[in-house]
Structure 1
Amino acid sequence: MGRVCAERSPDRGNVSAVTRENRRPSADAAPPPVSVIMPVLDEERHLRSSVRHILEQRYDGELEVVIALGPSTDRTDEIAAELVAEDPRVRTVPNPTGRTPAGLNAAIGASRHPVVVRVDGHGMLSADYIATAVRLLEETGAANVGGIMHAEGENAWEHAVAAAMTSRVGVGNAAFHTGGAAGEAETVYLGVFRREVLEQQGGYNEEFIRAQDWELNFRIRSAGGLIWFSPELRVSYRPRPSVRALAKQYRNYGRWRHVVARYHAGSINLRYLAPPVALCAVAAGLVAGAALTPWALVVPGGYLAAIAAGSLPAGRGLPLAARAQIPVALATMHMSWGWGFLTSPKKLARKVIASRREPVPATR
C-alpha cells in the first residue's frame, strides 16, 4: 500500500492545515505555487482539452501539472508526451497498476508545490477554479475545498446522462452534483488540498480502488480538519459514452459505497439505500407478475412512470433525441448502482478494513 512521503519545507506550516480559524490573505501576498495532479487511463478523447483548461487558468501563481500514466490501450501516452514537449509545466510519472489512488500518490510524490489540485483526465476546470480554490482555502482555513461536478455531454446520449447526473431523481440531494449552499461537507468532488495535510495523512489509501476521496476526507475530518464545499468551484465532467460504460461506472460506485458502509457504519443514509431497494422492488414485481399475479407489475410500472416523469424537468431545453434517452440513463444508473451495492463482497470490505489508517492529527 503506497504512501506519500516527502520532506516538509520550512515554509509549509502545520497548524493551519487542520484548524477552523477564518483567515484572510494579505493583499500583498503572492499567490502560492500550485501542483495539479492527474491520474489518467485511456483518456485520449479528453486529455488534451483537460490539460489546456489547467494551463489557461486565470491564476497569477506558478503552476505545474503532473500526469500519472496508467497502462492505457489508446493514444493517451502519446498525447501526454506531446503535452510535455509543448509546455515545460507538464510532467509525467508512471502508474503501472493503473489504479486511481496509486496514480494520485505517485503524482503527489512527484509534485512540489504547497497547494495540490486533483483533476481527472476527463474533467475541465472553470477558468477561475484554482484562484477561487486558493482563496477559499485561505478564507475558511479548510484542509480541502471542492465544488460541483457539472456533467456536460457532447452528443445526445451524453447530454441525457449529464441531465440524469445533475437531477435529484438521478442522484438525490448530493450537493456536488446538484449544487447547494457553501459550507462544511463530509466529502467533495476531486478536491484542492494543502500539501501538508496530504503528507500528514500519508496520501490516499490504495486499497480503495473507488471512494478513495471519501476515505481520505474521512481521515482528514477525524483529525480535526475542515472539508469545505462551495458552488463557486465548478468542474465540467464528460459522461461515459455508452450504456455499458455507464452501467460499469455505477456498478462500481454501488460496490464501493457498500465497502464504505462496512468500513464506517455511520456513513450510510437513505439516499444510498434507494437504488438497491428500487432494484429489489422492481425484480420482485417482475417475478411475481410473471408467476403469481399481473397486479405485481404495478411496482416496475410505477418505477418506469416515476423516472419518465422525473426526466421531463431534467431534460428541459435539450433536443428530443437527448430527452428520449434520459429514462434509459436514469434506469441504468439506479439499477447498476443497486446491483453493485447488493453484490459487493464482504471479503473486499475485510481487505479494506485491514488496511485502515488511523487519522494523524497535525502537530502543534
Structure 2
Amino acid sequence: MSSSRKWLRRLVVAALLALLAGAAAGWWWLNRPLPLRNERAEVSIEPGTTPREVVNLWVEAGVDVPAEALYQWFRWSGQARRIRAGSYEIGAGTTPRELLDKMVRGEETLEMLRLIDGWTFRQVRQAIAAAPNLKQTIAPLSDQQVAQLLNLPNGVVEGHVFPDTYAYSRGVSDITVLRRAAAAMERHLAAAWPARAEGLPLPNPEAALVLASIIEKETGVATDRSRIAAVFVNRLKIGMPLQSDPTVIYGLGERFDGNLRRVDLVTDTPWNTYTRAGLPPTPIAMPSLASLQAALRPEPIKALYFVARGDGSSVFSESLDDHNRAVNQFQKGPRK
C-alpha cells in the first residue's frame, strides 16, 4: 500500500472518528439538563415569533447556554417552525430535547381562575384582580362597559358568566377569560330553556336566569333546590311577592354590612322583592347549572313558603298557618 493511500485511509478514519465523537457529544448535550441561572425559567411566545427570537427569550429568561447552540439544535431537529405560541416554564432537569418537545406539543404552563356558584360580579372582579399572570383590563370599566365588550343583552353582566374553573395562558387578558365564561352561560341556558316544564311564568330565558340566581342564593342543601324553585314559581303564578332576602341584600350593594334589618325589607329598591312583585330586573348572582335546571323544571309541589331549619335544609309549607308553626319551631325572623 502506497504512503498516499495509507495517509488517505488514516484521514478517512480520523474524520469518521471525529464525526462519531461529535455525534456522541451532541447526543450527550441534547439529553443533559440545561443549566439555569435560577430555579425556573419561563417565557411567553407570541404568534409569529421566529425560532431565533424564541432562543433569545429562553437565554434572557435564564437558560445558561450559548444561544447559537440552542438555535442550531432547533434548526437541525427540523421542528423549529412547529414551535407553538404560548406560555412555557421549565425547571431543573429539563433537557434541550425536552424543551423543544414541550414547545412543539404546546404544553403550556396554565393558570386557573375559579368562579364560584352564587358569586356576584363584584366578587368576580375581585377574583380577576387577584388572578396570577392575568392581564388586567376591566378594572377601570363599569359593569355596563364590560357587558358591551361581552356582547351581553341590555348591558347587564351580572349573572351572565358561568361559574366554573377556567384555565388560561399567562399574559392573556381578563376579558378573554370572561368571554369564555359568558359563552358557557349562554350555551347552558340555551340547552336548558327548550326542556322547561309547561306553564312556567317565565316569558324568556333571561327571566329564567334571574330566577335561577335567586334559587342559587336561597339554596342551603342541593336536595332542596327544586322545591325552592317551586315556591318561587308558585308565587309568581299567583302574583305573590317573592320576599327573598338575597334580592334585598343585592339591592343594598356595598351598604350591606352582614346584618339584614327589618327597615331594609321595607326600603324600596328595584331588587327588593318584599316591596315589588315579580322578578327583579337583573340576576343577583351567578347561578349554577343545577339552579338553571331547577328554575326551568321545579318540583311539582304546591308549597308557597319555606323556612330554614338551621342545618342548611328548609321546611316547606302550603299554608301560612303551617309556615308560622315552622317559623316558631325553627327560627324567628322575616318570613319567606
Shorter-chain TM-score category? Answer: under 0.3
Larger radius of gyration: 2
Which protein is richer in strand relative to its size?
Answer: 1
User: Comparing both chains, which one has the higher relative contact order based on Cα–Cα distances under 8 Å and sequence gaps of 6 or more?
Assistant: 1
Return the TM-score normalized by structure 1. 0.25
